[in-house]
Structure 1
Amino acid sequence: MPSYCIRPAGPDDLDGARAVMLDTVYRDFGTGYVPRWHGDVVDPAAAYLAPARHTLLVAVDESDGGVVATAALDSRGPAHPPNPRFVAERFPSGETAQLRRVYVRPEHRRRGLARRLVAELLAFAAADGGYRSVYLHTDPSVPGAEGFWRSLGKVVHDEREDAGGGQAIIHFEVPFDAPSPATKGR
């Protein structure tokens, strides 16, 4: 069984991270690259390495040094549109840690990598001190995605239940240890 190193991405990891992300949007989502949805995939350095409150993690296979999984966090809450207005209002930008790009190459799945990556992102959000909630959305058509996120979070809206089905996306809140208002900023 391979051994993995999980770490914040550096400049040398970006090509491997981008490959994992693009492979996922083509293979698992079937959408391919869509500029309005995937701009961060093309330029992960600007999206996740430059802003102080953002991060991109990678899981690296220690046997060959290749990036096999990614997970990112940013402070941009879900925008309306395309997300329902009440979801965007519940998770405002700047106060919401949004989990993104939690992707694992198929041959490395079922080894706990996604769970480890998410735990690291939640610790990052808690250490930041400015986030009051953690949000993500997932496409339930991706095998295993819905069950994985249900094991970690609470559904706040399932668009499949909307008239017309919305985007067929499920919106989640994931609990984390947010600082209390009395300790924020200490």
Structure 2
Amino acid sequence: MRIYCIRTATPDDLDGARSVMLDTVYRDFGTGYVPRWHRDIVDLEHAYVAPARHALLVAVDERDGTVVATGALDSRGPAHPPNPRHLAERYPSGETAQLRRVYVRPEHRRRGLARQVVDELLNFAAKDGSYRAVYLHTDPSVPGAEAFWRSRGKALLDERAEPGGGKSVMHFEVPLL
């Protein structure tokens, strides 16, 4: 049985976290690195570690010390564009905790790591005291993503149902703990 430690990322964890994230955008999303969508992955320190109201968590396999899962939170609401204007207005920056980069390596999935990471991020947001909502968007084509987020929050918009098919993006609000 594997034992995992979920913790705030240290400088020594950043390369491992970046590896999990980049592997996910290449393998699961099939997009590869796209600067306008994934710039934060390159500079995790500036995006999540240095800002006081942001967080980057990692799940580390205690057997070998490798980072096997990630999750981040920041104070930036969804931008318009590319997201719908009504969501950007409903979830403004500064008042919205946005969950990002909740990724688990395939061989470590189905062990509750994403749930534990998200719970810790929600605790972080609640302790901050100034977030009024938690928002995220996900690609429902990623195995398990849609079911996981439906179990955690309220689906706000499924862009696949939009006229013309929209994008393969779902938007969610997750309750603060």
Shorter-chain TM-score bucket reads over 0.9
- Cα deviation, 1:67-109, whole Å, max 9, x if unaligned, reads 0000000000000000000011111000000000000000000
Corresponding residue of 2:120 = 120
Name the residue aligned to 1:50. 50
Deviation at 1:159, TM superposition (A): 0.4
Alpha-carbon distance between aligned partners in 2 of 1:92 and 1:164, rounded to the nearest angstrom: 27
In structure 1, distance between residues paired with 2:47 and 2:165: 30
Q: Distance in 2 between matches of 1:168 and 1:88?
A: 18
Report Cα offsets for 1:30-84 as digits up to 9, x if no partner.
0000000001100101100110000000000000000000000000000000000
Distance 1:53 1:118 in 2: 16
Q: Does 1:85 align with 2:85?
A: yes
In structure 2, the residue matched to 1:2 is 2
Quote how far apart the aligned CAs of 1:166 are.
Answer: 1.9
Pair 1:36 & 2:30 matched: no
Percent identity (aligned): 78
Q: CA deviation at 1:2?
A: 0.8
Q: In structure 1, how many angstroms separate the alpha carbons of the residues matched to 2:138 and 2:43?
A: 21
Superposition TM-score, scaled by structure 2 size: 0.99
What's 1:96 paired with? Answer: 96
Q: Per-residue deviation at 1:11?
A: 0.4
2:24 maps to: 24
Q: Secondary structure at the match of 1:15?
A: helix
How many Å separate the matches in 2 of 1:86 and 1:3?
42
For 1:129 and 1:68, how far apart are their aligned partners in 2?
29
For normalisation by structure 1, the TM-score amounts to: 0.94
Equivalent AA in structure 2 for residue 35 of structure 1: P
CA distance in 2, matches of 1:73, 1:167: 23
Cα RMSD (Å): 0.6
What is the CA–CA distance in structure 1 between the aligned matches of 2:49 and 2:140, rounded to whole Å?
28
Q: Can you give the 5+ residue segments of structure 1 that lack an aligned partner in the other structure?
A: 178-186
What is the rounded CA distance, in whole Å, between the counterparts of 1:164 and 1:131 in structure 2? Answer: 34
1:96-123 C-alpha deviation (Å, 9 max, x unpaired): 0000000000000000000000000000
